[in-house]
């Protein structure tokens, strides 16, 4: 996975990429402090990073064609 700082709505972004066959996700699935019931205000940097980080696929098995497709879809989504 490759984490990106993301300013768009992450749930909608995940759905958009999934509809194109690309699995993106947050940087981590769950924040540990939330699992044990501690409020975000105790860990503001972690909460902010969770809210603004999107992880895209990157692995040695990806072909050049797949990498180009992912890159093109990111560019398309961001309209750049």
Residue 1 contacts residue 55 (beta carbons within 8 Å): yes
pLDDT given for residue 33 in this prediction: 96
Spatial CB neighbours of 62, under 8 Å, sequence gap ≥ 6: 70
**pTM of model > 0.75:** yes
Q: How confident is the model at residue 27 (pLDDT cuts 50, 70, 90)?
A: confident
pLDDT given for residue 31 in this prediction: 94
How do residues 35-70 score in pLDDT, each as one tens digit?
A: 999 999 999 999 999 999 999 999 999 999 999 999
Residue 73 contacts residue 17 (beta carbons within 8 Å): yes
């Amino acid at each position: 996975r490759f984490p990106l700082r993301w300013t768009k709505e992450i749930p909608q972004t995940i759905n958009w990429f999934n509809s194109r066959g690309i699995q993106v996700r947050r940087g981590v699935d769950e924040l540990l402090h939330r699992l044990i019931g501690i409020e975000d205000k105790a860990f503001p940097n972690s909460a902010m990073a969770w809210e603004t980080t999107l992880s895209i696929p990157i692995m040695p098995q990806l072909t050049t064609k797949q990498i180009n497709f992912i890159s093109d879809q990111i560019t398309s989504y961001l309209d750049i």
